[in-house]
Structure formats: structure tokens, C-alpha cells
Amino acid sequence: MGKVKNILEGALYVAIVLLVQKIAYYGVYLLALVGGREDMEWGPGHSVLVQCMVLLVLGLVRWVVWERNMEPFQVRRTSARNLLVGAWLGVGLVLLLQGAANLAGRFSSLELSVVQPEVFQAYPLAWWLLGIGVVVPIVEEMIYRGFFQHHFLRGFGAATAVLAQGLLFAVGHKNLLQGVLVFPMALLHGLLVWKTGSLLPAMVSHVTFNVVVLLMMALQMDVQNIGQLGVVFLGGVFMVYTGLRLMDTEEPKREGGLQ
């Protein structure tokens, strides 16, 4: 019965997130229409606003339902080594996913490259780096690896909780190809949080990932040679593997370890 309740509560929280996102999206475009900006393009500031609204509402729900228990949103301290590992993993994920995406694109008609420089036409790079590079990933870690992973850990083992938040994170991008690309990152970050007991390494990894991808877009750094792609992919695998081996871990707070 406890697992059923956990799933139903999780579904309710997902519905709340979707509702808040819809309200925020329509609110932004309504304000644009009122201000005479019918041709407004979605930008990093709008994404920051939506994600912050979701985090605020989930925080209020947690505050009310769980009697001011804000444990899922607490950013606990961790070692400097884990912060460096987070940055290392962020770069590794870029290499791994960029290599995998471009290799898949070479053998199919799908456009999977993360390098899309046209996104900078409406807003300057600095605005993207601040909003999408720094603020959004920090907030997303608090939502998915903080709130949702913590929620599912109360009813299931760690493996199920990590998988559940990863699926929600992938689906939350509302784009199949993007979802496929970010799903491995979500799983890795969920594992990081579980193993280190802190959101900080995942935050550092996510910020590093987004900043590097944005810089690659701005500089139009896109590898297409199949030999070079293989090296990029294997380099990413090596960095992710060594990062996981080097991180400081603490004893999981749930009996049975990673289930």
C-alpha cells in the first residue's frame, strides 16, 4: 500500500509541475501580447522564470504537506574532491553524448547534434550562459534529484528512485531527441546524489555540461569525422568512468544499499 501511495503522490506532484509550467508559459506569452511583442522568441530568462516557479510551488507543497520539512531541497556540503569530480563528469558527459549523438546521426537520417548555433540569434551568449548555463541546471537538480528522487526513495529502492526521476527529467524536456540525450545524464546525476549525499556534485556537473554545450554552439565546434567521433565518445566514457571511481561516497541512509 505504501508503494501505491508513493506512486499516486508522485503522479500528483507531476500534475502540479505540468500545471505550473502551462500557467507560466501562457503567462509569459500573454504579457508579450499585452506589451505588443507578438513576435517574441522564447529565451533563457523565460526558462529561468518557469523553472523557478515550479521549484517555488513544489517547495510550498512540501512546506504545507510535510509540516515545514524541506529536506529534499537542502544543499548539503561535500568535499572539494566531489565538486571537481562533478566538473570532470560534466565535461565527460558532453564528450560521451556528443560523440554518441553524432555517431548515431552518421548512420541515420536523424539530426542529433547538440550544436545548434542559431539559438543565439535572438539573445546574446552571456544571457544564455547565465540563464541556461547556470541558473536552470541548479534549479532542475533541486527539482528532479532533490524533490522527486527524495520522494521516490521513501517508497522504493535507490535504483527505482533514480530511474523514476531520470524518466521524469527526460520527459520534462518535451522533445524526444533531447529526452534521449539527457536521460543518461539524469541517471548519472541521480547516482551522484545518492552516493555523495549532496546535490552539489550534480549541480556542478549539470552547470559544466550546459556551459560547455553552449560554448560549443557559439563556437560551432561540431565533430563529424567518424574516427574523431570515436575518440570523442571513448574519451567521454573514460572521463565518466574515472569520475565515478574517484568520487568520495558516504554510506547510503537507506538499508540495503543501491537496490
Domain boundaries, the chain: 2-246
| 233 DSSP assignment | H
* Spatial contact of 135 and 55, defined as CB atoms under 8 Å apart: no
3-class secondary-structure state, position 18: helix
How many Å apart are CA 137 and CA 2, to the nearest integer?
Answer: 31
How many Å apart are CA 46 and CA 98, to the nearest integer?
Answer: 26
Specify the pLDDT at position 259.
36
Specify the pLDDT at position 246.
93
Specify the pLDDT at position 75.
81
From residue 187, give the alpha-carbon distance in Å to each of 111, 118, 120: 23, 29, 29
3-class secondary-structure state, position 144: helix
* Spatial contact of 158 and 258, defined as CB atoms under 8 Å apart: yes
> Helix crossing, 2-34 with 158-172: angle to 10°?
20
How many Å apart are CA 239 and CA 75, to the nearest integer?
Answer: 25
From residue 97, give the alpha-carbon distance in Å to each of 18, 83, 114, 176, 185: 27, 21, 9, 15, 9
Specify the pLDDT at position 112.
53
Which amino acid belongs to residue 205?
Answer: S
Alpha helices in the chain (DSSP H): 2-34, 44-65, 80-106, 125-130, 136-140, 149-153, 158-172, 176-196, 200-219, 226-246
Which stretches in the chain have pLDDT values below 70? 1, 36-40, 67-68, 107-120, 224, 250-259
Q: Which residues contact 227 (CB under 8 A, 6 or more apart)?
A: none
Model confidence, pTM: 0.89
